[in-house]
Structure 1
């Protein structure tokens, strides 16, 4: 893989980041099929020919971006989740704060990852399938690792309850991503987002935990 992208990897870091950020933004806003390599090149300040000198095809660029963004999400999001926090809902709030912090730092990474989750493009769908399953599994394990299950109500099936909570927070994340599609992520109302998330967490907590 590194050999394929050696010309790109030999670029100075500033130029690499301009190209990666331009591509992430274009794919995140428009999806795979509608994204324009002309617009990516223009945003990055290079010619389309030079873009394809580094990445021979649009598909190759997209898959490189996927691996790049998943590596960032792993090291700067999943690996920072506090596994010593045993209260599930405290941990979930911390997880959202980590996500917001990463969005501020690298605005288009999460929206790009959402696009890859729901893309129906025949050109890349099969390539992404196993990669997506691996990332979802990692997220589930990190969130529920070491939680105190004694807090759950005795009447509930704990594994099913954990699944429902995982799907619910995933649904909230997808809702936010859909509502903010095409927006400048650095200008979003993060306080309002956190307030809404807290309200959902409170409902889930009352349902799942012994009062």
Structure 2
């Protein structure tokens, strides 16, 4: 699948991906014209259809590529090589910042696609999300040591609270249209330090 696309030079592939993420993140699926994506990528509309049979194929390809890029960067930053929750969050943060610098509109696209209701793509997106759900159950996968946290703390609730706060922060930034990867990294470092003060057991 998409052999013609993968035969392109990396630079051209990158341009098409970023064009797709940008246009689909700014509009609903239905109101995102292929001509606009082609123009943003610097190619003709007919050439874009040469690489992707139709808009749905491109949209789902972008969604799956989004997940693949995220997994690759999380692996690159060794997020699965430690059981320290806060270290994992910091490494994950570094991975996401790197992704945002390479693909500025990927996060906005992912959030937009998550809530997309168009019947042309909705079911495929939701099926994909369901398959990935188990991977996101990090609180169980990490096997955290309860002894390092405040006595009696509900670890699952703690993780869920941090996840919601992170997603809320990202959503606010995306809605404001002022996404600055370096600024976000600085903010999240402060947030992680704040969580450490709240949740970690005090020595002595």
TM-score normalised by structure 1 residue count: 0.79
Shift of 1:136: 4.4
Provide the secondary structure at the position in 2 that maps to 1:77. helix
Q: Can you give the 5+ residue segments of structure 1 that lack an aligned partner in the other structure?
A: none
Q: Which residue of 2 aligns with 1:112?
A: 109
Paired residue for 2:53, among 53, 56, 61?
56
Q: Which residue of 1 aligns with 2:40?
A: 43
Q: Which residue of 1 aligns with 2:93?
A: 96
Q: Which residue of 2 aligns with 1:141?
A: 138
1:159 aligns with 2:156: yes
Instruction: Mark the CA change 1:209 to 1:13 in structure 2 (over 3 Å): closer, same or farther.
Output: closer
Provide the secondary structure at the position in 2 that maps to 1:34. coil
Paired residue for 1:205, among 183, 193, 196?
196
Deviation track 1:11-52 (CA, whole Å, cap 9, x = no partner) reads 444433332222122112324233221111112222222222
Paired residue for 1:174, among 171, 174, 196?
171
- How many residue pairs were aligned? 202
TM-score normalised by structure 2 residue count: 0.82
Paired residue for 1:194, among 161, 185, 189?
185
Q: Is contact 2:56–2:120 with CA below 8 Å preserved after alignment?
A: yes
RMSD: 2.7
1:189 and 1:71 mapped to 2: Cα distance? 20
